[in-house]
Amino acid sequence: MIFAEYLILSSLVLGVQLFLYQTQRILFVEVNGTAKIHCSAKENLEGGSRMFWYLRREGEKPTYIKRCSDDQNVSKFVCKHETQSSTLEISNVQKTDSGIYYCAYKYSSYLLFGNGSTLLVGDSYTNSSWVMLLVPFLHGSQVTGTVNLSCVTHGVSSPVHVSWSVSGELQEQGLTHSLKAKDGSLMLINHISVPMDTWTSGKNFTCEVKFNSSGTSVKKSTRYPAAPASECSHYILPLAAGAGLLLLVVSLSLIWTLCSCTLGFQPRISAPAASEENQDGILYTHLDFDSRNRNGRTMQRPARGKRAKP
């Protein structure tokens, strides 16, 4: 909560005084290697004692990790401060060091934050890793509002980098939610919200997942399957006419059957006895037609020109 309040206050002050920017959007570093995360400003940064670093891991709140000072104490985290920049060096990095690193500068009584740099340590890909793109299913004539697209990465050992593009244009990073399985693997769900008119415009939406710096990324693309309304309108009238005709035929058949039973007429052929035989999953039926009267006796066809005996 305190971190969120600082971000809000920072955005108010950044526009008029100081702007921190981190050009490294993503860094891939091998296990046991050294990561260097840069933070720069267009104004002078007065003393390293005002510079701080925060880390936000997947599924966790941001935590304070380092305050830069002039006396460079030897530790896992080391600050190298200059007039308009500061660099955080992390030695002997492990997968648990993966996350988003924010630089922060104390200006008056506020903390001004940078835009963050994502550090990924090692290879996150495993034998059970896969990527799936989830798209919304629109109900009825929904044409307003926003829709959510989700990129699901399953079975990874550590966080991955997910980026979105719309018809080749890179979009802002989406929000990520993480779930941890019993075997320790992670499932990461990264989603973005887009306006309804953008989703239905026919553009290609692509999510790209990077597991490490050397491996090939995985891309999943989709687009809204829009069908022109004019094509559907050609079938409305024929379908309506056919449905009306079918309803009329069924109604006349039902009336004829009810009237026949009321007047005492018996159909010439009653319901046939059936025997069933199942072969290889296909159901075959043998019909044995037999005409009977109401007393169960066989009806004999009357001879031409003679009256049938009861």
φ, ψ of residue 96 to 5 degrees: the values are -70, -15
CB contact at 8 A, 138 and 174: no
Residue 277 structure tokens: 């035989």
- Domain housing 193: 130-136+145-222
pLDDT by residue (tens digit) across 58-100?
778 889 998 887 555 567 899 888 888 899 999 999 999 999 9
Question: Can you give the three-state secondary structure of 107-149, one letter per residue?
Answer: ECCEEEECCCEEEEECCCCCCCCEEEEECCCCCCCCCCCEEEE
The answer to whether residue 239 is domain-embedded is no
The number of distinct structural domains making up the chain is 3
The answer to whether residue 228 is domain-embedded is no
Dihedral angle sign, alpha carbons of residues 85, 91, 97, 98: positive
pLDDT by residue (tens digit) across 42-65?
888 876 678 899 999 877 888 999
The answer to whether residue 270 is domain-embedded is yes
φ, ψ of residue 90 to 5 degrees: the values are -115, 115
The answer to whether residue 283 is domain-embedded is yes
What pLDDT is stored for residue 18 in this prediction? 64
Pick from 195, 100, 106, 110: which is nearest to 145 by CA?
A: 195
Pairwise CA distance, residues 142 & 144, whole Å: 6
Q: Which residues of the chain have pLDDT under 70?
A: 1-18, 47-48, 70-74, 139-143, 226-310
The answer to whether residue 309 is domain-embedded is no
- Do 10 and 106 sit in the same domain of this protein? yes
Pick from 257, 242, 253, 133: which is nearest to 191 by CA?
A: 133
The answer to whether residue 153 is domain-embedded is yes
The answer to whether residue 268 is domain-embedded is yes
φ, ψ of residue 253 to 5 degrees: the values are -65, -40
- Do 155 and 195 sit in the same domain of this protein? yes
Residue 148 structure tokens: 């959510």
Report if pTM > 0.85: no
- Starting at the edge strand that comes first in sequence, how are the strands of the sheet with 218-222 ordered? 169-170, 161-166, 205-210, 218-222
**Residue environment code for 216-252, b if the CB has 16+ CB neighbours within 10 A, otherwise e:** eebebeebbeeeeeeeeeeeeeeeeeeeeeeeeeeee
Measured from the Cβ of residue 115, the count of other Cβ atoms closer than 10 Å reads 14
Residue 58's contacts (CB-CB under 8 Å, 6 or more residues apart) are 98, 99, 159, 176, 178, 186, 188
The answer to whether residue 227 is domain-embedded is no
Please tell me what DSSP assigns to residue 206. Answer: E
What pLDDT is stored for residue 151 in this prediction? 95
- Do 61 and 153 sit in the same domain of this protein? no
- Do 210 and 261 sit in the same domain of this protein? no
What pLDDT is stored for residue 237 in this prediction? 46
